[in-house]
């Protein structure tokens, strides 16, 4: 892989001794050649979507120029090449999350669609009135709204694991919350707002003892943490390619084979069938029975290169790099008496991002000002309205980090926050 050869193995570049140089990594990302309002781009919105390296962009370009064909449906050279590359990425995904079976990896459009697939297929077939669905108060709408809709349709009870004021799950009553009539426990492994890393293994273990099925929303965790879904023992895991250097419009659902085999598809058409008559249809084997229609072929093939890139860096190195960044960011932000931080203040128990508010400046105004300085942050409820309201606000500003961010980026953010106070005449 061309970009892998460009990666420098150095020591203590970002202050945490993790063994890779984010300044060198940035050279693989063409977007960082851009100037925003005449300033260098400081991208602090990777929790929303990550930037893409040349190793990914070049594969998409090459596919459409020299390899474009549909998959699974042709015997000509282009079709066979496209199919081979498309299926190779499925194998890489299976290995990346712990070495599961390739049949257990379902291509979807995103993590949202993956979760909806479980709710609509497994949920509607197995959950009824009087049953309980357990989720947490820190869920993204993608792992909240499908269960609200399912509970309305079935009459099931939707119960929430509460959170503490400092942003952790409050587990003191977890044995009562996950009751004997609980059928599904669905939770995020890492909050997209608070950054909290949840003890999913312990919760999954309890859920299984109660006879419940479990789903983990890994949209934020899979790009940032070493993941072994078999050790985690989750029944389902959902995540998206675009949050881990890959293209948009591509996601994945991992599901245990025995559960997937007993589920019905929810989208019907080409490719997901084994036989169709005028009055009859039967479904294809795993994983194809859940993959109706032409998939995002170029995106899937390119995502294979994204996984190669992440593997070359090493997920442990990525985690250590982000721990150093978030520890530094929290330290610097705590020195600003006009900033309120939401979520844990312990870098060991949170991911590489921080949501915060200026006591006087609205998050949207603050994000707009920072953009004037070339700094891209997120402002809003981050698709977690119930969570932000728990903290008494309608919106926060969020800065989130990834492999290409440096201590200098955080220093620029801190300078920007101070400059905003002067600009809005609060200093």
* Domain end residue (candidates: 278, 311, 344): 311
Q: Are 323 and 343 members of one domain?
A: yes
Q: Are 110 and 228 members of one domain?
A: yes
Which residues lie closer than 8 Å to 141 by C-beta, 6 or more apart?
Answer: 383, 384, 385
Q: Are 21 and 106 members of one domain?
A: no
CA 294 centroid distance within chain? 24
State the first-to-last Cα distance of the chain, in angstroms, to the nearest integer: 50
Judged by DSSP in three states, 168 sits in coil
At 1, is the pLDDT very low, low, confident or very high (cuts 50, 70, 90)? Answer: very low
Contact at 8 Å (CB) between 265 and 278?
A: no
Q: Is the peptide bond before 287 cis (omega within 30 degrees of 0)?
A: yes
Q: Are 221 and 197 members of one domain?
A: yes
Which pLDDT score, from 0 to 100, does residue 19 have?
55
Which residues lie closer than 8 Å to 282 by C-beta, 6 or more apart?
Answer: 273, 274, 275, 276
pLDDT in tens, 194-239: 999 999 999 999 999 999 999 999 999 999 999 999 999 999 999 9
Structural domain including 186 reads 58-311
pLDDT in tens, 67-92: 999 999 889 999 999 999 999 999 99
Q: What is the mean pLDDT of residues 335-353?
A: 95
- Phi, psi dihedrals of residue 84, rounded to the nearest 5°: -60, -45
Tokens of 243: 């949050």
pLDDT > 90? residue 269:
yes
* Domain end residue (candidates: 259, 288, 311): 311
Separation of alpha carbons 60 and 67, rounded Å: 10
pLDDT > 60? residue 188:
yes
- Phi, psi dihedrals of residue 68, rounded to the nearest 5°: -60, 115
Neighbours of 361 (CB within 10 A): 20
Separation of alpha carbons 185 and 198, rounded Å: 13
Q: What is the mean pLDDT of residues 167-189?
A: 98
Q: Are 125 and 221 members of one domain?
A: yes
pLDDT in tens, 299-308: 999 999 999 9
At 2, is the pLDDT very low, low, confident or very high (cuts 50, 70, 90)? Answer: very low
Give kind and range of the element (H or E) at residue 315: helix 315-334
Q: Are 381 and 292 members of one domain?
A: no
Q: Are 185 and 102 members of one domain?
A: yes
Q: Are 237 and 222 members of one domain?
A: yes
The count of structural domains within the chain is 2
Separation of alpha carbons 347 and 181, rounded Å: 36
Separation of alpha carbons 264 and 367, rounded Å: 44
> The domain spanning residue 250 has which CATH number?
3.40.640.10
Q: Are 279 and 352 members of one domain?
A: no
pTM attached to this predicted model = 0.95
Sign for the pseudo-dihedral over CA of 382, 383, 387, 390: positive
Which pLDDT score, from 0 to 100, does residue 73 have?
84
Report the share of the chain in percent with pLDDT over 90: 95
Neighbours of 85 (CB within 10 A): 19
3-state secondary structure 204-248: HHHHHHCCCEEEEECCCCCCCCCCCHHHHCCCEEEEECCCCCCCC
Separation of alpha carbons 31 and 43, rounded Å: 10
Q: Are 307 and 318 members of one domain?
A: no
* Domain end residue (candidates: 311, 344, 365): 311
Which residues lie closer than 8 Å to 361 by C-beta, 6 or more apart?
Answer: 369, 420, 421, 424, 426
Catalytic-role residue among 48, 60, 259, 383: 383
Tokens of 145: 């709204």
pLDDT in tens, 124-174: 999 999 999 999 999 999 999 999 999 999 999 999 999 999 999 999 999
**376 closest CA partner among 118, 77, 31, 75:** 31
Beta bridge partners of 237: 216, 254
Work out the mean pLDDT of the chain and round it to a whole number: 95
Separation of alpha carbons 312 and 296, rounded Å: 25
At 250, is the pLDDT very low, low, confident or very high (cuts 50, 70, 90)? Answer: very high
At 13, is the pLDDT very low, low, confident or very high (cuts 50, 70, 90)? Answer: very low
Which residues lie closer than 8 Å to 71 by C-beta, 6 or more apart?
Answer: 79, 82, 83, 86, 87, 294, 295, 297
pLDDT > 60? residue 3:
no
Contact at 8 Å (CB) between 200 and 170?
A: no
Q: Are 300 and 244 members of one domain?
A: yes
Q: How far is CA 27 from CA 24, 199, 335, in A?
A: 6, 36, 32
Q: Are 253 and 171 members of one domain?
A: yes
Which residues lie closer than 8 Å to 381 by C-beta, 6 or more apart?
Answer: 387, 388, 394, 395, 396
Residue 354 annotated among the catalytic residues of the structure: no
pLDDT in tens, 393-420: 999 999 999 999 999 999 999 999 999 9
Which pLDDT score, from 0 to 100, does residue 338 have?
98
Which pLDDT score, from 0 to 100, does residue 427 have?
80
Neighbours of 46 (CB within 10 A): 26
> The domain spanning residue 324 has which CATH number?
3.90.1150.10
């Amino acid at each position: 892989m061309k970009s892998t050869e460009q990666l420098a193995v150095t020591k203590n570049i970002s202050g945490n001794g993790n063994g890779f140089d984010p300044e060198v990594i940035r050279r693989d990302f063409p977007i960082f050649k851009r100037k925003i309002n005449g300033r260098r781009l400081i991208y602090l919105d990777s929790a929303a979507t990550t930037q893409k390296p040349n190793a990914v962009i070049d594969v998409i370009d090459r596919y459409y120029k020299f390899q474009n064909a549909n998959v699974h449906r042709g015997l000509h050279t282009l079709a066979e090449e496209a199919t081979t590359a498309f299926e190779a990425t499925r194998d890489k995904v299976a290995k990346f999350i712990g070495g599961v079976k390739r049949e257990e990896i379902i291509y979807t459009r995103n993590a949202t669609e993956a979760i909806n697939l479980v709710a609509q297929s497994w949920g509607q077939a197995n959950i009824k009135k009087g049953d309980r669905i357990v989720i947490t108060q820190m869920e993204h709408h993608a792992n909240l709204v499908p269960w609200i809709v399912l509970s309305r349709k079935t009459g099931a009870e939707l119960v929430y694991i509460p959170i503490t004021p400092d942003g952790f799950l409050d587990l003191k009553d977890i044995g009562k919350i996950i009751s004997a009539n609980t059928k599904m426990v669905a939770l995020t492994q890492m909050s997209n707002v608070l950054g909290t890393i949840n003890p999913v293994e312990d919760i999954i273990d309890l859920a299984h003892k109660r006879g419940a099925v479990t789903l983990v929303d890994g949209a934020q965790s899979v790009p940032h943490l070493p993941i072994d879904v078999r050790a985690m023992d989750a029944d389902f895991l959902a995540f998206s390619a675009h949050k881990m250097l890959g293209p948009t419009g591509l996601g994945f659902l991992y599901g245990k084979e025995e559960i997937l085999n007993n589920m019905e598809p929810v989208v019907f058409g080409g490719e997901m069938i084994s036989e169709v008559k005028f009055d009859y249809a039967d479904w294809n084997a795993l994983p194809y029975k859940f993959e109706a229609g032409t998939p995002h072929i170029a995106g899937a093939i390119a995502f294979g290169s994204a996984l190669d890139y992440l593997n070359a860096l090493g997920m442990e190195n990525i985690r250590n790099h982000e721990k150093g960044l978030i520890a530094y960011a929290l330290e610097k932000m705590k020195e600003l008496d006009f900033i309120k931080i939401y979520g844990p203040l312990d870098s060991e128990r949170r991911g590489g991002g921080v949501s915060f508010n200026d006591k006087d400046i609205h998050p949207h105004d603050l994000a707009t000002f920072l953009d004037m300085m070339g700094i891209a942050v997120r402002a809003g409820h981050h698709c977690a309205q119930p969570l932000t309201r728990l903290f008494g606000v309608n919106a926060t500003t969020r800065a989130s980090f990834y492999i290409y961010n440096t201590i200098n980026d955080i220093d620029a953010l801190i300078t920007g926050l101070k400059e905003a106070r002067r600009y809005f005449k609060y200093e």
